[in-house]
Amino acid sequence: MKNIKSNKNSEENIILNSLGLLSGKEKNDFVSDFKNFNSNEKKLISEFNNLTSLFSKVISDKEDITGPSPDVKENIFKKLNSDNFNTENKSNMGFEYVFADQSEWLKHPVEGIEFKQLSYNEKKDYVLLLLRVAPDTYYPAHHHSGAEECYVISGDVYAQGKVLGPGDFHHAEGGSDHEPLYTKNGCTVLLVVDPEDYN
């Protein structure tokens, strides 16, 4: 991984982040450096977060866990050896899915904002983010290295003297400067941004 300030062993930081064990400064450094991670590194983060979530569910389950029934192994091998298995896998190549319950909200450096990275396209050089913003949150004035696309899913966004609501869209051209943004009631937005602008 590139540019991880808090620890030379970046995989260790990914694991500690997934477990919620990074200190305040380490967590802030990790979130700040997240924009510099490549797609494989971001996928690794997602996989550790999913694994941690799965362990949490298993540990918190009050029922006695005795293991799967004996026929589970047999059914798995039947599926692996079936003619359809390889065909199904080939038909899913080139597709990626991010399910709501499988990814973790990460804290943004701006207080009151959480985000999920849904996609990073290295070839076309953009990042697709889902942001959840608390009521009465201000996002400071900022410069756009590349274009920014914003679709409001819920809530309100005050941008450049306009009020955007659910279903509204905003485009900022690369090289432009945004005045401070604000949400009165909180919002959820979908953003397409240049990776350089992503923090």
- Domain identity same for 117 and 189: yes
At 74 the pLDDT is: 65
8 band by pLDDT with thresholds 50, 70 and 90: very low
Encoded tokens for 90: 């080939």
More confident: 134 or 178? 134
- Domain identity same for 46 and 118: no
Please, are residues 167 and 152 in contact by the beta-carbon 8 Å criterion?
Answer: yes
Is residue 66 in some structural domain?
A: no
At 44 the pLDDT is: 76
Other Cβ atoms within 10 Å of 65 Cβ, number:
8
Range of the domain at 46: 10-60
Is residue 138 in some structural domain?
A: yes
Encoded tokens for 140: 């400071």
Is residue 94 in some structural domain?
A: no
Domain count, the chain: 2
What CATH number should be reported for the domain holding residue 168? 2.60.120.10
Tens-digit pLDDT profile for residues 83-136: 555 554 455 567 777 788 877 888 988 999 999 988 888 888 888 999 999 999
- Domain identity same for 191 and 109: yes
Q: Map residue 196 onto helix, strand or coil.
A: helix
Is residue 81 in some structural domain?
A: no
Is residue 31 in some structural domain?
A: yes
Q: Which of 124, 123, 175, 178 is nearest to 150 (CA)?
A: 178
